[in-house]
Amino acid sequence: IRRTTVPQIARRKGGEPIVSLTSYHAHTAAIVDKHADFILVGDSLGMVMHGMESTVGVPLDLMIMHGKAVVRGTKKALIVVDMPFGTYEESPNIAFRNAAKIMKETGCGAVKLEGGKRMAETIRFLTERGIPVMAHIGLTPQSSHVLGGFKTQGRDEDSWPLHEEDARAVSEAGAFAVVLEGMVEPLAAKITKQIDIPTIGIGASAECDGQILVLEDMLGLNPWTPKFVKVYGQLGPMIEQAVSDYAEDVKSRAFPTEDQVYR
């Protein structure tokens, strides 16, 4: 294995922070690959790439299609592919079948699934059979219909023990890392200290062992910027300027010119 391995990520616990971003297609993934320890092909691609309202409708085939593109476009980072809603919750057997399909068809190195204590048995089942699992707790978008939306977790200190229990359960079940999404800082800090595997934060403070963001969010391509996102590049306005310049040039016949014409 020439790419960053699962044990290499796991060993980063408490060390130099782990760098990660999402990617859904080959050209952006190739750029991210130069700087990220792992790349997540997240089911957020349902919204970002396909205009869906939530991740609930994302099919397995779509994850596999984008997973393949990202594996082809990269050579260094560990590639983690999200298991979409409905493909793993029912039983460890069904989860294994679908996770194996994702790994075989995309060539990714690990899968990610949402859920804490309730998914521990499945995480163990997969890990013992050769499929590394990244867990995802706190704000879990695939459960937004039950939770009543996307809410920051841990604002009420009474809820902390449940989240801590989730973190311990996935760690003890063999997950090699866990995403903490949408969580107040003191809870993320507490969990990070309590478990032996790296925590990867998104909206969960710098107390985590690493960070992840949705690439399009940090590039300024999302018209709405959530509080936890820092925008590192204004690609939205840049693309708009380029498209409008092109439109002007076509209308005025300023494009194509000599340089772009075959003689």
Residue 99: count other Cβ atoms within 10 Å of its Cβ: 28
d(CA 148, CA 116): 18
- Dihedral-angle region of residue 148 (phi above 0 means left; psi in -120 to 50 means alpha; beta otherwise): left
Annotated active-site residue 128? The verdict is: no
Task: Pick the closer one to ligand KIV by CB: 171 or 199.
Answer: 199
Stretch that binds Na ion, among 20-28, 79-87, 100-108, 174-182 (CB under 5 A): 79-87
d(CA 173, CA 170): 5
Q: Which of 28, 44, 153, 192 binds ligand KIV (CB under 6 A)?
A: 44
Binding mask 192-221 for ligand KIV (x = CB under 6 A): ----------x---------x-x-------
Is 114 annotated for ligand binding? yes
Task: Taking the CA atoms of 2, 4, 8 and 12 in sequence, report the sign of the dihedral they define.
Answer: positive
Q: Which of 189, 192, 203, 210 is nearest to 19 (CA)?
A: 210
d(CA 70, CA 210): 21
Residue 214 binds: one of Na ion, ligand KIV, none (C-beta under 5 to 8 A by kind): ligand KIV
Q: Which of 4, 67, 79, 82 binds ligand KIV (CB under 6 A)?
A: 82
Residue 18 binds: one of Na ion, ligand KIV, none (C-beta under 5 to 8 A by kind): none
Q: Which of 42, 84, 92, 182 binds Na ion (CB under 5 A)?
A: 42
Residue 199 binds: one of Na ion, ligand KIV, none (C-beta under 5 to 8 A by kind): none
Is 230 annotated for ligand binding? no
Binding mask 206-225 for Na ion (x = CB under 5 A): --------------------
Q: Which of 43, 166, 209, 216 binds ligand KIV (CB under 6 A)?
A: 43
- Alpha-helix runs per DSSP H in the chain: 6-10, 26-32, 45-48, 60-73, 92-106, 120-128, 144-147, 160-173, 185-194, 215-218, 235-251
Is 181 one of the binding residues for Na ion (CB under 5 A)? Answer: no
Question: With CB under 6 A, what is the number of residues at the site for ligand KIV?
Answer: 12
HEC states along 50-83?
CCCCCCCCCCHHHHHHHHHHHHHHCCCCEEEEEC
Q: Which of 23, 42, 115, 208 binds ligand KIV (CB under 6 A)?
A: 42
d(CA 209, CA 18): 6
**88 within 8 A of 126, measured Cβ to Cβ:** no
Which one from 53, 89, 105, 181 is the annotated catalytic residue?
181
Output the residue with the shortest Cβ distance to ligand KIV: 42
Q: Which of 22, 69, 80, 82 binds Na ion (CB under 5 A)?
A: 82
- Dihedral-angle region of residue 131 (phi above 0 means left; psi in -120 to 50 means alpha; beta otherwise): beta
Question: Contact residues for Na ion (CB under 5 A)?
Answer: 42-43, 82
Q: What residue ranges bind ligand KIV (CB under 6 A)?
A: 22, 40, 42-44, 82, 136, 179, 181, 202, 212, 214
Active site residues: 181
